[in-house]
């Protein structure tokens, strides 16, 4: 009986040994796999974004896809996020002025980590930028439509083509259009229109005027020979989508009211637009537009530039502006604090 008991004990320990051996073997195999995967992840870490860029807010609350910059911006080394828990590890924080200008409490309240860039972002004119003094001694870089910004983010631009471009002028069945969302009777542009309408018919789209479908926006404007690209205020470099989208993208001739002609000519050909300042009066402008309406050859000269330049395809709202930040940061801008954004942006 004792022999039988010893046999059972021997069998038990032998079985336990084999089970332990199998478990050890499997564990060691899995452990090596885990280690190899870990090394693989570490070896690929150089391909991961090295710069964290925090958007303090989505501009005007408009949500758009992050980390989808077109290749030309070379933004693969940057990771964009709106997760404020990443604040302390962020290399830069983009602060959209109009979303924080109502109160200083809208700005980050946690002390800034060393060498973190605060980037002031704004696409509105100084007329519509209250409380710029909130930014005194806080901002390290500026990003706006102004060409003298640290990060130049224009509303649009032209690209020169290597060869001739065949551009077909859209069929024109109407004369002048103007889409305006902010109708202020005391503004220069509305007062100018009040005088102009005495001499020429203008179709106005917007609140309390003709309805302009968003889905047929460009298609509608393309039927007109001229479009009034009248800015809501006059400031250097403030040339908005009224020119780039409403006029150029729709294939019509812009009649502009904004900064002086020479400012426009920094960015677009001189024969691509008509400036209200070129005329002594609204009546003179109306007479000129009516004369172009009767002279196809002269009218078509305003499209000659399109054989040389193209308008890039839209890249999505806000995406181009933010994608430019990555390149700027990778170039290692000098770290400094701007004493007064208000003194510069006026």
124: annotated active-site residue: yes
Separation between Cα atoms, residue 257 and residue 277, nearest integer Å: 8
Contact 256/274 with Cβ under 8 angstroms?
yes
Angle between helices 282-293 and 188-196 (to 10 degrees): 60
Range list of H helices, 138-281: 188-196, 217-221, 241-243, 261-264
Short-list 85, 87, 65, 60, CA closest to 322: 65
Separation between Cα atoms, residue 143 and residue 122, nearest integer Å: 7
Catalytic residue selected from 124, 241, 265, 297? 124
Residue 266, SS3 per DSSP: coil
Six-digit token string for 75: 């933004």
Contacts for 112 with CB less than 8 Å, ≥ 6 apart? 118
Short-list 311, 341, 338, CA closest to 161: 311
Contacts for 50 with CB less than 8 Å, ≥ 6 apart? 77, 78
How distant, in Å, are the alpha carbons of 118, 151, 326 from that of 114?
11, 21, 19
Distance of CA 42 to the CA centre of its chain: 34
Q: Supply the DSSP symbol for 210.
A: B
Catalytic residue annotation: 124
């Amino acid at each position: 009986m004792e022999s039988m008991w010893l046999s059972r004990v021997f069998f038990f320990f032998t079985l336990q040994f084999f089970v332990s051996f199998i478990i050890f073997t499997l564990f060691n195999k899995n452990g090596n796999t885990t280690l190899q995967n870990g090394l693989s992840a570490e070896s690929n870490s150089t391909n991961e974004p090295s710069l964290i860029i925090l958007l303090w807010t989505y501009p005007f609350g408009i949500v758009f896809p992050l980390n989808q910059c077109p290749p030309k911006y070379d933004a693969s080394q940057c990771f964009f996020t709106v997760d404020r828990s990443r604040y302390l590890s962020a290399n830069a924080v983009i602060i959209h002025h109009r979303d924080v200008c109502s109160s200083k409490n809208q700005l980050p309240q946690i002390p800034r980590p060393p060498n973190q860039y605060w980037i002031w972002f704004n696409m509105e004119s100084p007329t519509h930028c209250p409380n710029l003094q909130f930014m005194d001694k806080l901002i390290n870089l500026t990003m706006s439509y102004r060409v003298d910004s640290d990060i130049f983010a224009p509303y649009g631009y032209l690209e020169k083509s290597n060869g001739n471009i065949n551009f077909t002028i859209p069929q024109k069945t109407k004369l002048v259009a103007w889409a305006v969302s902010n109708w202020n009777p005391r503004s220069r542009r509305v007062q100018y229109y009040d005088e102009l309408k005495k001499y020429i018919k203008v179709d106005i789209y917007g609140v309390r005027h003709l309805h302009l479908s968003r889905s047929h926006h460009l298609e509608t404007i393309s039927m007109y020979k001229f479009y009034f690209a009248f800015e809501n205020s006059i400031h250097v470099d403030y040339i908005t989508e009224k020119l780039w989208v409403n006029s150029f993208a729709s294939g019509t001739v812009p009649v502009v009211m904004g900064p002086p002609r020479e400012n426009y000519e920094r960015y677009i050909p001189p024969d691509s637009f008509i400036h209200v300042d070129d005329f002594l009066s609204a009546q003179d402008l109306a007479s000129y537009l009516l004369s172009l309406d009767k002279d196809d050859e002269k009218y078509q000269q305003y499209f000659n530039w399109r054989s040389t330049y193209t308008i890039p395809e839209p890249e999505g709202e806000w995406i181009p502006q933010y994608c430019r930040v990555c390149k700027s940061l990778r170039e290692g801008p000098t770290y400094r604090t701007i004493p007064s954004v208000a003194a510069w942006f006026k």
